[in-house]
Amino acid sequence: MRAPAFADSVFINCPFDQDYWPLFEALVFSLVDAGFTPRCALEAPDSGEARIWRIRDLIKGSRYSVHDISRVELSQELPRFNMPFELGFDLGCRVFGSGRDRQKRSLILDSKRYRYQQLLSDIAGQDIRAHEGSPDRIIEVVRNWLRSTSGRREIPGPVAIKKRFIAFSDQLPEFCDRLNLERHDIQFAEYVDMARSWIESIKGR
């Protein structure tokens, strides 16, 4: 299968745990509704390729990236550093790369606006956005960033995307029944395909 276009691809670096999943679905849906292609390590979970090189290829192939560092918790005995690591990988690609690597743009998310200053002070000066643990908020933040960064005028407004996300989520159980899937069994690629097909059917009416 041909890789998605660099200019349309958005690399997602975020937690994949159950608590974060509502935010993840909202994030992925908003990218699809805005006309972009979400990319993340979940799209090829059974690949024999080492994870780090798979992430490298996804980052290299994506002009845009969204990094959520909200799961690096000070209260945890052993904080999770996957998200900051992948963020550094992405920023390094932009700084030390050449050609289209210099076109790369990144959005950094956290649960609270200034919390990152206690965790990763080296990224001070970056425009960190807070999603406050809200799917509605993450749709708004991601949509507005894509609109200003890409300059694409056809991107729907945040209210329209939120309404469509609610309607799509309400119909997910029906889609699962048709495909003989349990709700929790939906894979990343399947969710993206469902969202894209549903959005296309709605816009085609």
Could you give the CA distance from residue 125 to residue 101 in angstroms, rounded to a whole number?
21
Q: What is the dotted CATH code of the domain comprising 6-203?
A: 3.40.50.450
Alpha helix (H) residue ranges in 81-155: 82-96, 135-150
pLDDT of the residue at 63: 96
Sorted by where each begins, the domain ranges of the chain are 6-203
HEC secondary structure over 13-82: ECCCCCCCHHHHHHHHHHHHHCCCEEECHHHCCCCCCCHHHHHHHHHHCCCEEEEECCCCCCCCCCCCCH
DSSP code, position 107: E
Which strands sit side by side in the sheet containing 105-110, from one edge to the other?
37-39, 9-13, 64-68, 105-110, 128-130
Could you give the CA distance from residue 129 to residue 114 in angstroms, rounded to a whole number?
9
- Considering only CA atoms, which of 68, 52, 51 is closest in space to residue 10? 68
Could you give the CA distance from residue 125 to residue 31 in angstroms, rounded to a whole number?
25
Return the exposure string of 181-195: e unless at least 16 CB atoms fall within 10 Å of the residue's CB, then b.
beeeebebeebbebb
Backbone CA torsion sign across 194, 57, 50, 84:
negative
- Considering only CA atoms, which of 198, 166, 185 is closest in space to residue 26? 166
CA 117 to chain centre: 22
pLDDT of the residue at 8: 96
- Considering only CA atoms, which of 42, 26, 43 is closest in space to residue 34? 26
Per-residue tens of pLDDT for the chain, all 205 residues: 567 899 999 999 998 888 899 999 999 999 999 999 999 989 866 556 678 888 999 999 999 999 998 876 655 565 566 787 888 889 889 889 888 999 999 999 988 765 555 555 545 545 678 898 999 999 999 999 999 999 999 999 999 999 999 999 999 988 888 888 888 888 899 999 999 999 999 876 5
